[in-house]
């Protein structure tokens, strides 16, 4: 996840138990970055607008990203569509659709994830999960080979620190949500950005940004459903 947490212990996911997860390899200014993303229809994946770069490769059906697994599907991208009102400084509208060059073959190892209803908010106290190949500790620069996951609780908007000069100064409750209890330390970290906050069987959030300790900030997917649907309709052949 951008590491599945800043502290605490992430666990290895059961292989291919999260068939919607996609591994994103981005080349930008000579550096390689990894990000999470998730499949919403056969030829579109959803991620954060900050997960952008000059070259992007998409791998689906992966569990161990350092091995060539028979069930992996590597597909090139033909269009990247960041939200037109994305603001890099405030992170408002940090959401992006990536259209794949061809439709994926859906099976038990590669499948889509359900999206929420428009403007349907998740109640504070709901236990959700985040998954990713990001670093599992703030003390480590390395990333695990296998998909990791951790449970995080949805926090009330008021739980975030309100320092006007602090990291949450641009927090927007209409399009963002907090996740992760500061007392438990479970969190996302480097390499998890763009992955999903899964509540039940629905992708309610996109991992956006976080300070070193929880709560982290997630893009509220339900706010963007009209834009997601309209964009996919416009680009579908």
Selecting among 50, 129, 137, 157, the annotated active-site residue is: 50
7 occurs within a structural domain: no
5 occurs within a structural domain: no
The pLDDT score that the predictor gives to residue 81 is 94
- Bridge partners of 206, per DSSP, are 196, 219
Dihedral, CA atoms, 227, 232, 234, 235, nearest 10 degrees? 140
Is 50 a catalytic site residue? Answer: yes
pLDDT tens-digit map of 26-73: 765 555 556 668 999 999 999 888 777 667 778 999 999 888 888 899
Is 111 a catalytic site residue? Answer: no
pTM of the model: 0.86
| Residue span of the structural domain in which 128 resides | 114-222
Is 79 a catalytic site residue? Answer: no
**How far is residue 20's CA from residue 203's CA, in Å, rounded to a whole number?**
10
* pLDDT-based confidence at residue 209 (cuts at 50, 70, 90): confident
Which one has a higher pLDDT value, 55 or 229?
229
List the one residue out of 232, 198, 182 whose CA is nearest residue 36.
198
Whether residue 77 is found in the same domain as residue 172: no
Selecting among 13, 16, 83, 94, the annotated active-site residue is: 94
User: Which span out of 35-49, 158-172, 175-189, 216-230 was modeled with the highest average pLDDT?
Assistant: 216-230
**Which range is least confidently modeled, 64-73, 141-150, 199-208?**
141-150
Whether residue 121 is found in the same domain as residue 212: yes
Whether residue 204 is found in the same domain as residue 229: no
List the one residue out of 91, 101, 111 whose CA is nearest residue 203.
111
Whether residue 36 is found in the same domain as residue 97: yes
Which one has a higher pLDDT value, 129 or 186?
129
CATH number at residue 213: 2.40.10.10
**Sign of the torsion angle spanned by Cα atoms 185, 65, 108, 19:** positive
pLDDT tens-digit map of 81-99: 999 999 999 989 999 999 9
Whether residue 172 is found in the same domain as residue 127: yes
Tokens representing residue 236 in the block: 């579908």
Give, in order, the Cα–Cα distances in Å from 84 to each of 13, 18, 42, 80, 185.
Answer: 34, 30, 23, 12, 34
* pLDDT-based confidence at residue 4 (cuts at 50, 70, 90): very low
In the predicted model, what is the mean pLDDT of residues 163-167?
A: 79
In the predicted model, what is the mean pLDDT of residues 171-176?
A: 93
Whether residue 137 is found in the same domain as residue 103: no
Whether residue 172 is found in the same domain as residue 210: yes
Count of domains forming the chain: 2
Whether residue 70 is found in the same domain as residue 132: no
Whether residue 230 is found in the same domain as residue 203: no
Selecting among 3, 13, 175, 193, the annotated active-site residue is: 193
11 occurs within a structural domain: no
194 occurs within a structural domain: yes
* pLDDT-based confidence at residue 8 (cuts at 50, 70, 90): very low
């Amino acid at each position: 996840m951008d590491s599945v947490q800043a502290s605490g212990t992430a666990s290895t996911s059961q292989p291919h138990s999260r068939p919607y997860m996609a591994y994103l390899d981005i080349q930008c200014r000579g550096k390689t970055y990894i990000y999470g993303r998730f499949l919403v229809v056969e030829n579109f994946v959803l991620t954060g607008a900050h997960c952008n770069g000059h070259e992007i490769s998409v791998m689906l059906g992966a569990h161990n990203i350092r091995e060539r697994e028979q069930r992996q599907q590597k597909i090139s991208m033909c269009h990247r569509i960041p939200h037109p009102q994305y603001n890099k400084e405030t992170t408002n509208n940090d959401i992006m659709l990536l259209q794949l060059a061809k439709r994926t073959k859906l099976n038990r190892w590669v499948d889509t994830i359900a999206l929420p209803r428009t403007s349907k908010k998740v109640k504070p106290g709901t236990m959700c999960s985040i998954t990713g190949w990001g670093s599992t500790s703030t003390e480590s620069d390395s990333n695990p080979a296998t998909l990791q996951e951790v449970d995080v609780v949805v926090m009330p908007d008021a739980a975030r620190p309100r320092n006007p000069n602090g990291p949450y100064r641009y927090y927007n409750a209409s399009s963002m949500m907090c996740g992760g209890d500061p007392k438990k330390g479970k969190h996302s970290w480097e390499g998890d950005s763009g992955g999903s906050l899964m509540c039940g069987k629905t992708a309610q959030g996109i991992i956006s940004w976080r300070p070193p300790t929880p709560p982290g900030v997630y893009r509220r997917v339900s706010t963007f459903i009209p834009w997601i649907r309209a964009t996919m309709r416009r680009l579908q052949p």
